[in-house]
Chains A and B, each alone.
Chain A
Amino acid sequence: DAMVIQNPRYQVTQFGKPVTLSCSQTLNHNVMYWYQQKSSQAPKLLFHYYDKDFNNEADTPDNFQSRRPNTSFCFLDIRSPGLGDAAMYLCATSLGREQYFGPGTRLTVT
């Protein structure tokens, strides 16, 4: 089945220790998104790629970076995680108007 895959589903990292979250898709969609969602809050868009064009949201901290080496894969790098970065990170893809979400990675910062 075509889908959006995120690994790992649960990630624990230490305060200040760099961490990378992964997303892959078999949908061949040209747009990929990373969202941060904290408990009982709306998903917040961090950035998105339109093909290889990177689009950063104005309020995304510099601590968050992303890479998209090819159509299928996209990575979220958190250079120095703080306690406030503990959240669910959602990857999504789209070809047009509808977005397809992966299962998310729940990040815990200790």
Chain B
Amino acid sequence: EDQVTQSPEALRLQEGESSSLNCSYTVSGLRGLFWYRQDPGKGPEFLFTLYSAGEEKEKERLKATLTKKESFLHITAPKPEDSATYLCAVQALLSTGFQKLVFGTGTRLLVSP
């Protein structure tokens, strides 16, 4: 069964304290891995797509990396405005021939000033 596991469930950082969020996946026929940010009361906002092991993408203080079994979202010198839930999702090819995004349950990040 296709599965996406994110850790930790919650993370509290001080402003400027760098850290990493983990997304491990078990999926057949990986077509892509997506990172989204979700603020309270809002829909998920797209951050990155990674397609192959070794690929990296960066945006401001965020960098996403991908291996064959997991992805990391590195946050460098975070600021309070980086506080949000970060969702990981994999595009899976189902046995039916359909494709769908399978989401993890997210990591809630709180950055204190």
A in complex with B: no
Give the interface of A toward B (CB within 8 A). Answer: none
Give the interface of B toward A (CB within 8 A). Answer: none
